[in-house]
Amino acid sequence: MRDSENLDNSRTEFFVVALPGLEDLVLAEIAEWFPDFTAKAEHGGITVFAPLNEGLAMNLVLKTATRVLIRLARFRCKDFPKLFNKIAHFPWEQWIDPACELKVHPSTRLSRLKIKSRIVDACEDGWMEHLEKSGLKAKRGRVANLYVRFLEDECTLSLDSSGERLHKRGQREFVGEAPLRETIAAALIQLVERKSEDPRPVEIVDPMMGSGTFLLEAAIRDQMIEKRDFAFETFNCAAVPTPRLRTTRPHVHALIGYELDKKTISAAKENLRDARLEGGKVAEILNGDFLEAQPLPKTEAQRWLFCNPPYGERLKVKEPLADLYAKLFAAAEKVVHPDLACFLLPSKAVKGKFVLPPNWKVLEKRPFLNGGIPVTAFVFKCLR
């Protein structure tokens, strides 16, 4: 492979970081907002080619992505002097404030340069050289995050354009005991959405809502993220355009959540206070044991249920998990009568068969890691 630098702003190479196992969902979300971009899923993310300012706009709307990197350069590198020189002589002013501080995030596999601390040192020394030869003094407080990745002696330099990871929406301030990462909740909502061919409006129900992540993500699904900062806001580039969703999705018409724990309920209420649906409608939050709840009233809408129950790890469970989940499925059918249901369950608990309501059919089983715990997302179609 030839050494390359990504200097053509009309066709910038991005890498959109995704949770392994959810890459196809991030790819599909990119296509829904940015159908003109060239995008390809790889392990751990999506490579995207797009004009610089348009690609940066991915930060504003993608709900399933972890962060958006710009791939600045790719080169063969087996020694530290070459790495030093690349950093010292790279045209940084084309991208960022050339007087900012540089924070280096190294990773290395199957490469001659193995020691991460020495990779960081070589980059930092190269950065000092760049400042010196440009006659600049590092400005404190403005930081560029550079991801330096070695794989089989090929080095890729990637600049972070997101800042804090994108699951931080600037919105969910209060969390319960075992909160779900927002990007996972969003990915599961989109997974279910793509299984549905029903155009009717949707009621979203979470029987064990904790701090309300599924409901919040359903409420902000098509909105821009505006309550936080992004690293790209200090980049040298043309104005970042406001993206437009290029697909129609079933309209979210109501949000309903149950929660047993009083303290967690207050967190959910705070989080969902500003999450309003069309017409100013707010989420309905029900305090109590879902397993004992009365059936919800009949509705003209379709119902999608999302549930991330306790796994018996951070949140303890007295009975065998398989028994709890069988009760949960039965209560879900009786109380919610959903059209589609998605449960995120620890993989250890679902190795064998489990008891499902007879009219439920498995549409998808998707394994991935949730905070280091192997989990499987099950999507069920509930036949009527």
Q: Which residue among 6, 59, 156, 213 contacts ligand SAM (CB under 6 A)?
A: 213
- Which stretches of the chain are assigned E, i.e. beta strand? 4-5, 12-17, 38-42, 45-50, 67-76, 101-109, 143-151, 154-160, 202-206, 252-259, 284-287, 302-307, 340-346, 360-370, 373-382
Measured between alpha carbons, how far apart are the two ends of the chain, in Å?
A: 56
- Tell me which residues in 237-266 interact with ligand SAM (CB under 6 A): 258-261, 264
Q: Which residue among 73, 143, 291, 373 contacts ligand SAM (CB under 6 A)?
A: 291
- Tell me which residues in 173-202 interact with ligand SAM (CB under 6 A): 176-180
Sorted by sequence, the CB contacts under 8 Å of residue 223 that are 6+ apart come out as none
Residue 163 found at the interface with ligand SAM (CB under 6 A): no
Rounded Cα distance between 48 and 62, Å, is: 13
Residue 211 found at the interface with ligand SAM (CB under 6 A): yes
Residue nearest to ligand SAM (CB): 210
Residue 312 found at the interface with ligand SAM (CB under 6 A): no
**Can you read off the two tokens belonging to residue 198?**
């029903």
Q: Which span sits near ligand SAM by CB under 6 A: 145-153, 193-201, 288-296, 356-364?
A: 288-296
Per-residue x/- track, 9-48, ligand SAM (CB under 6 A): ----------------------------------------
Q: Where are the alpha helices (DSSP H) in 178-300?
A: 182-195, 213-220, 262-272
Q: By C-beta, is 258 or 378 nearer to ligand SAM?
A: 258
Rounded Cα distance between 199 and 221, Å, is: 17
Q: By C-beta, is 128 or 324 nearer to ligand SAM?
A: 324
Parallel, antiparallel, or unpaired for β 202-206 and 302-307? parallel
Under DSSP, the state recorded for 278 is: G
Report the greatest alpha carbon distance in the chain.
Answer: 73
Under DSSP, is residue 93 helix (H, G, I), strand (E, B) or coil? helix
Rounded Cα distance between 3 and 1, Å, is: 7
Q: For residue 33, how far is the Cα from the chain centroid?
A: 15
Residue 290 found at the interface with ligand SAM (CB under 6 A): yes
Residue 343 found at the interface with ligand SAM (CB under 6 A): no
**Can you read off the two tokens belonging to residue 200?**
């009717």
Q: Which span sits near ligand SAM by CB under 6 A: 8-16, 26-34, 139-147, 210-218?
A: 210-218
Number of residues that bind ligand SAM (CB under 6 A): 21
Residue 171 found at the interface with ligand SAM (CB under 6 A): no
Do 30 and 37 touch, CB atoms closer than 8 A? yes
CB of 29 to ligand SAM, least distance (A): 20
Q: By C-beta, is 201 or 310 nearer to ligand SAM?
A: 310
Residue 315 found at the interface with ligand SAM (CB under 6 A): yes
Q: By C-beta, is 158 or 264 nearer to ligand SAM?
A: 264
CB of 66 to ligand SAM, least distance (A): 17
What are the residues binding ligand SAM (CB under 6 A)? 176-180, 208, 210-211, 213, 258-261, 264, 289-291, 308-310, 315
